[in-house]
Each structure stands twice: as C-alpha cells, then as structure tokens.
Structure 1
C-alpha cells in the first residue's frame, strides 16, 4: 500500500474526536490563572505520555504557568516542531455562559477554536500515524505554551530557542475564514497606559480635583483616532478609581497596535508617545510592554505551504494562503527566518467571544492534513 493510500485509510472519526475534546474545553485555562493552565497542561502531558512521547515539564516564569515539550523520536536530526498555546482569554466559569454544546454541525466552548481544538488535532494525527505504523518523515516535537494570549512575555525565549533546533514549524492556530493558512503576519505592540490626576472629595470639593479617569478617557479617544491605513490602535483594558465619592488619582489601561510593516509599527509607537504629558495636576504615559515582530513570507515558508496545499488537494479541499493580522507565536519563528506555516487549525468563528465554535467536519479534515504533513515532510 502506498503512503497516499495509508494516509487515506487512517480511521479518523469525528464522533470520537468530539467526545475526547470535551475534557480539554471544560478544563478552563485563562492566561493569568497559572493553576488553571497547569491543569490543562497536565491533561495534554498525560495524553502524550500515553502516546509514547518523552514529556518534559518546563516550569513557568514570572508567575505564568508551566509549558510542556514532548519528543517523539530520539534522533538528533532537525525535525518538525508543532507548537501551540493552551491558555485562553476566557475567565474560569465562562463555561456557565458558553457551555459545551453541539448544534447544527458546530461545537461550542471557550477556547475551542483558539486554539485547543487545533492542538488536539496535532495529537490525534500523531496518534493515528503511530497506530497505523506510519513513520513521520522527521523527528517530531510538540511544544505547548502558557501565555500566548497576553503576548508570550515569559515564553518567547523558549519558543525561539526550540524553533531554532528544527527544520519546520507547524502552528495549528485557527484556519482563516476561507479555510486557508497563514504564511506571514503583521507586527504587533502591546502598550501599558497610565494616567494620574489630583484626588479630592467628589461631593464636597469636586473642583479641587482632576480625575485620572477623565484624563484616560480623553487620551483613549485621541489614541484610537490615530488609527489609519498604516496602523491601528485599540484600547482593551481600563482600570481606575476605588471610591465613587473620590476623584480618581490613578487609572491604567492596555492598548494594542497592529501594523503591516515594522516601520509602520515603529511610527505607531512614536505617534502614541506624542500623547505623553506631565504637569502639576495630571500626567499620562505610554510604555511598550511586548511586541510581536513582522513575519515576512520567505521562500522556505512558501515551499512548506506548497507541500500542505498538495496534501490538501489529495484529501479533497483547497488551501489558500494569506498574510494575517492577529499575532501568534509564528511571528517569532517567522521573523527568525524559520520555515513556518500557521493557521493549520480548525475552521470556525467567534474566537475570543461567547459564541466561539468549531465546524465539526473540520476535525477530520485538518487532522488528516496534519498527519499528511508529519508523514511527508523531510
């Protein structure tokens, strides 16, 4: 039997995968809750041990959860790194608002699309290849990280070091809306915003104070109005004040900027800092806390994409590619010049919302694609 026939015969089953995926989704794992993310890491680690992987638990840094790395070959040859994050943006108890459910060919749950479902199909592909006795073309390492949703502040060095040891990097982030994959990503900066004011009693001496919340609100509007064709700004977090009867002394926030080139991102950061001021009654500051570098498409990445496109054609679906916003850890590996293919995960919509779902038929489709890549890449 040819390799193509062997791969086509893999008994991938939607019902089986949906049933086993449920425990992953109901183990909620928001980035800032290290114990919750560690519980999810344990589930994935135990599955990979059962599959015969050599699993290492890498202690978390800076208050973040652990990471896990599993190798499925003892060869020292540069191989394939399949990489994803197990943290999500959804707080614990989101399952009360977005419970696991199946409806109309869709499966719903917090983090199911971004990106637990994609990580799950990596393990399913490896499991099926092993059961069928089909060797991977190169040694395979799986790396699951714990803080991608907050910019990978504690794992970037680990990601870059691990990727440099491999020939290919496969990232099962969600597929694009057209089912395609990602061959390059825009640059991103996260910014910390801080406003200060002059406190006073809001009921008795309102005019003596200057509200840090108002300063933040005014600067927030100015910042977001700087959005243009070259770069965007979005403020996603605001915290300020402690008592309603006090004029707020401090207000903090977090903003995200995205640009299609590194030069444009540098310009965006420069523009944001024009808002900085300080006087006797109030101040406003902007600090860049994390960046994702531009990932420009390379010849190596396009050669990797052609292999994936050909494999998708054998399976029976088209696989377009595109540059994409919305950063991922592929920004880091792509910026290093590594052969990186992103967006290999499931089809669906609603990520980061209370309507997050996957299309169930993409489980078999994308697991079969992943299995084909793992078997054919050499």
Structure 2
C-alpha cells in the first residue's frame, strides 16, 4: 500500500466500527468511576480488559491503597522491536450517582455524559485502534502496553512511581487525553504544581486580646500570590481554596490556602514554588506559625519529545487534507511523567471534546473515526518515531 493511502485505508476499515465504539463508550460512561470510588474505577479498567482480551492482551493490576482503584496494565507481546505505551486513566471527577442523574446521550453529532470526553470515549477508541493496527501490521513494534491510571484526576500521586516505571519500559507513548479543535494534538505541556499553606495561631473569643488569628496572617497572601501570575509568560499562581474559622465570634487558630501553579518549564515551576514559600514565610509571626507543603507535582513535557510523532502524523494526514496543529498545553497529564523517560511521546489522541470536567462535557461523534484511525496509523508507524 502506498503511503498516501494509509490513513484513508484505516478510516475505511474503522468506519463500520463506529457503532461498536459508541456502545463501548456508553457502557463505560454508565459506570460511576470517581477517583474516590475504587470499585467503579476498577470496573472501568475491567471492562477495558474484556475489550482487549480477544486481541490477546494479558492483564495485570497493582494496588496503590485501599481507597483507590488499582493500576491497570494490559500487555501484548509481538516479538522484537520498540515498546509502545497507550496511556489513559479510568477515573473521573464525578461522584457516585452522577451516571444515573446525567445519562449517556447522543444527539446528532454530540455525545454527553460524565467522563465521556475525559476520557471514556478515548478508552473505547483505543481498543479499536489497536485492533485495526494488528490486522494491518505493526512493523518494528515488539510490544503494546495499554495502561490505565486510577487516580489521574487527583494528580496521580499514588500511581506516579508506576507511571514512571512504564515510561522507563516504553520507547513510544500515545496518550489518550482529548484532542482540541482544529486538529489540535498536544505536543508539549507545562509543569504543574500544588501547594497547601497552613497557618497555626491561637484561638480566643473575639472580645479578648489573647488570640492570634491564623486567618489574618495569611489572608493577604491571596493577593500577593496571585500577583505572581504572568499570563504573557504562561506562568500562573492561583489560590483556589481559603479555609478558616469555626464561628464568627471566635479568633481562628487555623487557616489553609490551596494554591495551583502552572509554568512553561519544570525549572520555572520550581522557581515559582520557591517564591510561594518565601511569601508564606514572611507572613509568620511570633504567634502564628506558617507551614508550606507541596511543590511541582508534574514536570513539563518538552516539545522535543513529540516532534517525530507529530511529523509522522502530519505525513499521514496531509494526503487527506486532515487538519493538524501543535498545542502547547498548560494543563498536566500523565504523559509528562512518561516523557521524562520515553524516546517519543504525544498527547491529545482522544476525540474532539469540549468542556471536560463540567456538566457541559461533550464529544463530537464526527471526530471519533478519524482520530481512531490516526491513533491506529501512529501505532503502525511507532518504530519510525524512535531514532536508530
């Protein structure tokens, strides 16, 4: 088969599978799998395991704690060649009962339902993509691992070491976060940080002078921390939670600020975290102690790690006039952990989706087959992404 026809052939092969992909998506969406629901998370992984079984995959799981789902790792060994990792997550942001209250629905070109875009449709798409690649051929590919993270929406704290281990074993990583409008593939990601500032003071009735307000000590930090934001430099520092007090007439002896950090490079993230620590330390007094926890939680994914995969995607898409564009994303994903080790990685291989993690979350049905075909064709060309 000539190169110009590869993606067209893959689209033609996969088009009849659209009803199956949507039915598998429905079954996944109908499972409540919030990060704090280990049974639901494991049910999603188990269903993906059922979908992969006819393709010859062997499944292994790993515990990260009783209150979390299990890490899911399905592997198909093909022989000598590069190791390919298809990376997704089984958890969502939605609590138990959401699937019943907000059922999976298709309305023309639009799918909706909890987690449909982040990322249950992508999980179903990846199974069909792998199947089509196996039918067509995977020259130079020695193994495929399909891995699902159980706590991605919480920052992958419990699973990070396992994800990094996957990265050390992989040569190429294709990550299943949603694609962006205009053919956007995520070719780089900034660093992400999470910090908690905790102030400890001394309680007293508001009429007394013996109290030491933890809230008064740290409340001014909201403005000074958010002043660290420089959107032109793609550096963000945002206070998302300020928690303090038990009653209006009681001096609060405890206060918490939860801070989100975004920066274009890992070293920029560490520098931003250092500034947060400096500002917090300056708010301490003899009567109020200020503690700081956290820092950079996800390293940046540099554009260099995605360059060869993106150029292959361009080669595949060009004969069909399929639009593609590079996206430098400020949000984090598990691709960043893998990209520190694997030779090549790219993100945004899921369907075109909008408003993830909100009740407006949708997927465009018309994007499903083309993106599944592109994922499948990249699997077949994965060996070309590894520099000899």
1:321 equivalent to 2:323? Answer no
Tell me if structure 2 keeps the 8 A contact 1:153–1:290.
no
Gaps of 5+ in 2: 384-388
Q: 1: distance between equivalents of 2:48 and 2:242?
A: 34
Secondary structure of the structure 1 residue equivalent to 2:29 = helix
Gaps of 5+ in 1: none
Task: Tell me what 2:92 maps to.
Answer: 88
Tell me if structure 2 keeps the 8 A contact 1:200–1:246.
yes
Q: Which of 362, 366, 372 does residue 367 from structure 2 map onto?
A: 362
Deviation at 1:75, TM superposition (A): 2.5
Secondary structure of the structure 2 residue equivalent to 1:83 = strand
Task: Tell me what 1:219 maps to.
Answer: 221
- Give RMSD over aligned pairs: 2.6
Deviation at 1:195, TM superposition (A): 2.2
Secondary structure of the structure 2 residue equivalent to 1:114 = helix
Instruction: Give the alignment's TM-score, normalised by structure 2.
Output: 0.86
Instruction: Give the alignment's TM-score, normalised by structure 1.
Output: 0.88
Task: Tell me what 1:126 maps to.
Answer: 130
Task: Tell me what 2:202 maps to.
Answer: 198
Tell me if structure 2 keeps the 8 A contact 1:193–1:284.
yes
- Distance change (3 Å), C-alpha of 1:47 and 1:241: farther
Tell me if structure 2 keeps the 8 A contact 1:78–1:165.
no
- Distance change (3 Å), C-alpha of 1:206 and 1:38: farther
The within-5 A match list for 1:55-204 is 55-61=59-65, 63-75=67-79, 77-95=81-99, 98-130=102-134, 133-137=135-139, 138=141, 139-201=143-205
Secondary structure of the structure 2 residue equivalent to 1:313 = helix
Q: Which of 338, 346, 352 does residue 347 from structure 1 map onto?
A: 352
Tell me if structure 2 keeps the 8 A contact 1:62–1:154.
no
Cα deviation, 1:206-241, whole Å, max 9, x if unaligned, reads 665444345444322321222124421122344444
Q: 1: distance between equivalents of 2:342 and 2:253?
A: 46
Deviation at 1:367, TM superposition (A): 0.8
Secondary structure of the structure 2 residue equivalent to 1:332 = helix
Q: Which of 271, 278, 282 does residue 284 from structure 2 map onto?
A: 278
Mean Cα displacement is larger for which, 176-185 or 362-371? 176-185
Cα deviation, 1:40-89, whole Å, max 9, x if unaligned, reads 22222222224321111122248432111111225253321111111222
Deviation at 1:167, TM superposition (A): 2.0
Tell me if structure 2 keeps the 8 A contact 1:124–1:367.
yes
Deviation at 1:111, TM superposition (A): 1.7
Q: 2: distance between equivalents of 1:43 and 1:191?
A: 35
Secondary structure of the structure 2 residue equivalent to 1:278 = coil
Cα deviation, 1:282-306, whole Å, max 9, x if unaligned, reads 23332225521122222x6312211
Q: 2: distance between equivalents of 1:253 and 1:23?
A: 39
Task: Tell me what 2:341 maps to.
Answer: 336
Tell me if structure 1 keeps the 8 A contact 2:112–2:361.
yes
Q: Which of 12, 15, 20 does residue 16 from structure 1 map onto?
A: 20
- Distance change (3 Å), C-alpha of 1:141 and 1:208: same
Task: Tell me what 2:297 maps to.
Answer: 291
Mean Cα displacement is larger for which, 302-311 or 244-253? 244-253
Mean Cα displacement is larger for which, 242-251 or 230-239? 242-251
Tell me if structure 1 keeps the 8 A contact 2:175–2:346.
yes
Tell me if structure 2 keeps the 8 A contact 1:226–1:232.
yes
Task: Tell me what 2:386 maps to.
Answer: none
Q: 2: distance between equivalents of 1:216 and 1:50?
A: 57
Tell me if structure 2 keeps the 8 A contact 1:21–1:117.
yes
Q: How many residues align?
A: 373
Mean Cα displacement is larger for which, 9-18 or 362-371? 9-18
Q: Which of 285, 304, 308 does residue 309 from structure 2 map onto?
A: 304
Q: 1: distance between equivalents of 2:310 and 2:156?
A: 25
